[in-house]
């Protein structure tokens, strides 16, 4: 019986996923952040390996590049969080408006 309940919740979540009610963007943004972080680190190491003035450029990419990339990804997360809050508010306001109409 417990297996049936687990299967039904799995299919309910899968249905929410395909109906775009469940946002996967937060997980995707985290993966994109990690990929960008690795790319910025690799780029800064390749710059520093060239020597000369590129050492300074590599250090700048390592610090500011990663900082800018982090802020960019946090901005994406902020937009998706705002969407979730607005969706929740819409749901609650819909319930309130229905109760007001009944009176």
Q: Express each pLDDT in 24-47 by its tens digit.
A: 777 888 899 999 999 999 999 999
| Beta carbons of 73 and 32 less than 8 angstroms apart | yes
| pLDDT given for residue 14 in this prediction | 73
Considering only residues 11 and 17, tell me which one the structure prediction assigns the higher pLDDT: 11
- pLDDT (0 to 100) of residue 1: 46
Which residue from 70, 88, 100 is spatially nearest to 21, judged by alpha carbons?
Answer: 88
CA–CA distance, 37 with 67 (Å, rounded to integer): 9
Residue 51 DSSP one-character state: -
Once rounded to an integer, what is the mean pLDDT over residues 64-79?
A: 93
Specify the pTM: 0.64
Pairwise CA distance, residues 28 & 34, whole Å = 10
């Amino acid at each position: 019986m417990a297996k049936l309940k687990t299967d039904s919740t799995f299919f309910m979540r899968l249905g929410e996923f395909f109906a775009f009610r469940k946002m996967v963007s937060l997980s995707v943004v985290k993966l994109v952040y990690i990929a960008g972080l690795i790319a910025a680190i690799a780029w800064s190491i390749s710059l520093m390996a060239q020597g000369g003035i590129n050492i300074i450029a590599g250090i700048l990419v390592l610090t500011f590049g990663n900082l800018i990339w982090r802020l960019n990804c946090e901005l994406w997360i902020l937009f998706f969080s705002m969407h979730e809050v607005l969706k929740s508010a819409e749901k609650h306001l819909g319930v309130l408006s229905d109760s007001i109409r009944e009176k």
